[in-house]
């Protein structure tokens, strides 16, 4: 049975995040995974399961989410994106579809992910706050020193224990993550982009990094405080969790199918040799 890989975009405003959620005794919440799965089942005409590469939070957007499912489909591959999109609501689209090898692991084979946070700042007058793009742009009234944020962002790069930059109740076994890049750049008058990429991220990690950088730009936190905060592992020493508005999953890059399993075996060997 063929395995299909989809690139999916959605406006996260009206979704309760990516992952399906069915609270006990209540109707299922509207999630990106749930809505996409229903559309795929309508096209495939079978009860398939759709899996995703990244669990975006409620309100977080995506232009490069990746999903996968196994099925025999009744339409040509080149028509699959349009066929699924025609059964989706207006806040979600399938951008592309490919057939991948059976050993393709949608989570394990991820090499890197990229997020962008868009922030409007220094806008104290009500008419100048984000309006038509308010669900795609975070806002702070503080004036920000971009140069300080650029300097501090570089301290996030590398492999670190990011326990101070995730929710206290997170359930991952390890809080060690490898950040490949973290940059801040001007994006027009009173706007900036925070771009961050890495192998993977903890719950709320990107939003807490953004909140911390904004505090540094507002000169409410020392520019050289990031290494000490990382070393502490104390969530209370990092900045606030910035709102989901403004955060967008930009892309997900993959290695060769099966590379995730190879990395896992290598890590197990390294632990055994330690």
How does residue 266 score in pLDDT terms, banded at 50, 70 and 90? very low
> Is 57 designated active site?
yes
The predicted model scores a pTM of: 0.90
pLDDT at 129: 81
Token pair in block for residue 75: 């339409």
**Does the pLDDT value for residue 248 go beyond 80?**
yes
CA distance 240 to 245: 14
pLDDT, average across residues 42-46: 94
CA distance 237 to 225: 10
What domains appear along the chain, each with residue ranges and CATH number? 3-100 (3.30.70.580), 110-252 (3.30.70.660)
Residues facing residue 117 across a β-bridge: 194, 247
pLDDT at 246: 94
Nearest to 212 by CA among 141, 126, 130, 148: 148
How does residue 272 score in pLDDT terms, banded at 50, 70 and 90? very low
Catalytic residue among 57, 102, 195, 234: 57
pLDDT at 35: 98
**Tens-digit pLDDT profile for residues 89-145:** 999 999 999 999 999 999 999 999 999 999 999 866 655 688 899 999 999 999 999
**Strand 158-161 and strand 61-70: pairing?**
unpaired
**Tens-digit pLDDT profile for residues 183-221:** 999 998 899 999 999 999 999 999 999 999 999 999 999
How does residue 150 score in pLDDT terms, banded at 50, 70 and 90? very high
């Amino acid at each position: 049975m063929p395995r299909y890989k989809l690139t999916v975009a959605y406006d996260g405003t009206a979704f309760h995040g990516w992952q399906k959620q069915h609270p006990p005794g209540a109707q299922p919440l509207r999630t990106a995974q749930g809505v996409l799965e229903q559309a795929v089942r309508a096209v495939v005409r079978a009860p398939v399961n759709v899996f995703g590469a990244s669990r975006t939070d409620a309100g977080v957007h995506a232009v490069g989410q990746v999903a996968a499912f196994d099925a025999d489909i009744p339409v040509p591959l080149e028509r699959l994106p349009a066929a699924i999109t025609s059964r989706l609501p207006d806040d979600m689209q399938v951008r592309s579809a490919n057939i991948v090898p059976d050993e393709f692991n949608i989570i394990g084979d991820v090499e890197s992910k990229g997020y962008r946070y868009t922030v409007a700042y220094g806008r104290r007058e009500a008419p100048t706050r984000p309006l038509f793009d308010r669900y795609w742009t975070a806002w702070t009234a503080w004036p920000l020193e971009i140069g300080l944020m650029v300097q501090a962002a570089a301290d996030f790069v590398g492999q670190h224990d990011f326990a101070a930059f995730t929710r206290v109740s997170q359930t991952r076994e390890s809080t060690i993550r490898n950040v490949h890049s973290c940059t801040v750049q001007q994006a027009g008058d009173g706007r900036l982009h925070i771009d961050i990429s890495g192998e993977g991220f903890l719950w709320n990690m990107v939003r807490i990094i953004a909140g911390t950088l904004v505090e540094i730009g507002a000169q409410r936190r020392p520019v050289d405080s990031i290494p000490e905060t990382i070393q502490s592992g104390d969530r209370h020493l990092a900045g606030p969790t910035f709102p989901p508005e403004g955060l967008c999953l930009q892309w997900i890059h993959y290695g060769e199918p099966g590379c995730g399993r190879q990395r896992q075996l290598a890590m197990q060997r390294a632990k055994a040799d330690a």
